[in-house]
Amino acid sequence: GAVVSQHPSRVICKSGTSVKIECRSLDFQATTMFWYRQFPKQSLMLMATSNEGSKATYEQGVEKDKFLINHASLTLSTLTVTSAHPEDSSFYICSARRTSGRVDEQYFGPGTRLTVT
């Protein structure tokens, strides 16, 4: 199947700093990528939809000025957590949509563990 990578796999940062997470589709082009957040023992929560060449669409309750998303190419989307606080500590997962036949397929990255101290 298609491969989606994330970098870094885990990151620790100090409160108040910004952290950038990259999501890449390695063997296909993705006009649409998604960013999720997952807290321990909970399900994935969709944060935003990232569209290549246009502004991201954020879900209700997600601060767009805090979680900056850039989808500058067909294989790369980035999520920047600005002015991170301990409550932003979570597991961040991206996915990329690949158009294939009748139904689009969605592939998930391995996730990025963010710890804010």
Of 38, 34, 88, the closest CA to residue 56 belongs to 34
Q: Enumerate residues 36-65 that contact another protein by CB under 8 A.
A: 36, 43-46, 49
List, as one string, the DSSP characters of 13-60.
E-TT--EEEEEEESSS--SEEEEEEE-TTS-EEEEEEEETTS--EEPT
Note whether 4 binds another protein by CB under 8 A.
yes
Length of the chain: 117
Note whether 109 binds another protein by CB under 8 A.
yes
CB of 64 to another protein, least distance (A): 16
Contacts of 39 (CB under 8 A, 6+ apart): 45, 90, 91
Note whether 104 binds another protein by CB under 8 A.
yes
CB of 53 to another protein, least distance (A): 15
Note whether 78 binds another protein by CB under 8 A.
no
Note whether 24 binds another protein by CB under 8 A.
no
Q: Which residues here bind another protein, judged by CB under 8 A? A: 1, 4, 6, 32, 34, 36, 43-46, 49, 91, 93, 95, 97, 102-111, 113
